[in-house]
Chains A and B, each alone.
Chain A
Amino acid sequence: MNDTEKDNHLADFVDGKTASSADLDLRQLEETILHLKQSLPNDSPNSATSKQMLVRLKARLKREEVTSPQPFWKKILNFQNSPQISMALAL
């Protein structure tokens, strides 16, 4: 098997499109992949966990006082995006 064939075989193995290879080198790499899949989870947080994490993130942000996305002076400089400030300045 040449390198390109090995690349394709391993990619297909990961995608579940092919069975294990008879080639010893490839078999070892397949074992590493299975080991990786078994040992490391890749599940997403569920909806409840995501919400709780956001609540804790906001609490931490509050503690660290970075709730404002922009410093005060940047907000003032951005007055063209705020009709209220634009009107106040126009008056």
Chain B
Amino acid sequence: MVTTNYMHKINPEANDEILIHQFKTGHTEAFDLLYYRHLPNVYKRVRYVIPENDVEDVTQEIFIAAIKALPSFRGDAKFSTWLRTLTNHKVAEYYRKRTRKQEPLLAPLSDATTTMAGNTSKTMEERIFIQRAIQNLPENYREILLLRFAEDLQFNEIAQLTNQNLEAVKSLFRRAVAALRTHLDK
């Protein structure tokens, strides 16, 4: 239960529900804590499927969308689940915009010529090729690969999160890897 006194302080240990409530009641600094708590997973997920040059931009868009939507967040799902859905939506939007601009074939490869520290353009090109293959997978395949590799969740954690049994999760994982291999071989 949130008391009036408590609402005036931002407790770094407070759970997401309390921080969201505080944010909704005008304590905008509560968002900073939500941001630091959830940035790692959002960032890793985005970085896994978006070319390096656009990772921060897309990450920013996700948190801006979260700020705008938080006042209507009712808590039916966990905040982390809600944010994961929002992240997937923004990533899909990113690729839709590129497709609309007819950039998918040219732009990411030209991004690859801008080399980051320690990354050759060939590595970057390879990375973009894999990222695009992941993005082109059916949603359930893409999701399990992101949960296991980008978010580094164990199979039992994925089973719990997705309300499936462990065997079903492992089976889905193997089919997802097989589908990815097919895409990469094309």
In the complex, chain B residues 86-125 whose Cβ is within 8 Å of any chain A Cβ? 123
Residues in B neighbouring A50, C-beta threshold 8 A: 36, 39
Residues of A within 8 A of B56 (CB): 53, 56
B177 with A33: CB separation less than 8 A: yes
A18 within 8 A of partner (CB): no
- Which residue from B40, B63, B154, B181 sits with its C-beta under 8 Å from A44? B40
- Which applies to chain A's interface (DSSP): helix, strand, loop or mixed? helix
Q: What residues of chain A lie closer than 8 Å to B131, measured between beta carbons?
A: 40
B177-A67 in contact (CB<8A): no
**Minimum C-beta distance from B124 to chain A (A):** 10
A11-B170, A78-B25, A83-B4 as given contacts; A42 in contact with B177, CB under 8 Å: no
**For the complex, what is the distance from the CA of A25 to the CA of B72, rounded to whole Å?**
48
Number of A interface residues at 8 Å Cβ cutoff, please give it: 42
Does B83 count as interface, using CB distance less than 8 angstroms?
no
Chain B residues with CB under 8 A of A83: 4
Nearest residue, chain A, Cβ from B23: A69
Q: Judge whether B180 and A70 touch: CB under 8 Å.
A: no
Q: Chain A residues with Cβ under 8 A from B145's Cβ?
A: 36
Partner of B170, one of A8, A53, A74: A8
What is the chain A residue whose CB lies nearest that of B124? A39
**Of B64, B68, B184, which is within 8 A of A57 by CB?**
B64
Chain A residues whose C-beta falls within 8 Å of the C-beta of B36 in the assembled complex: 50, 54
Closest-CB distance, B173 to chain A (whole angstroms)? 6
The yes or no answer to A32 lying at the interface (CB within 8 A) is: yes
CA–CA, A11 to B167, complex, Å?
10
Minimal beta-carbon separation of B95 from chain A (angstroms):
16
Top 5 A-B pairs ranked by shortest CB distance? A44-B40, A7-B170, A81-B25, A32-B181, A11-B170
18 additional A-B residue pairs with CB within 8 Å, beyond A44-B44, A50-B36 = A4-B167, A7-B167, A7-B173, A8-B170, A11-B155, A15-B154, A29-B174, A29-B181, A35-B130, A40-B149, A40-B150, A42-B48, A42-B151, A43-B44, A57-B64, A66-B64, A75-B26, A83-B4
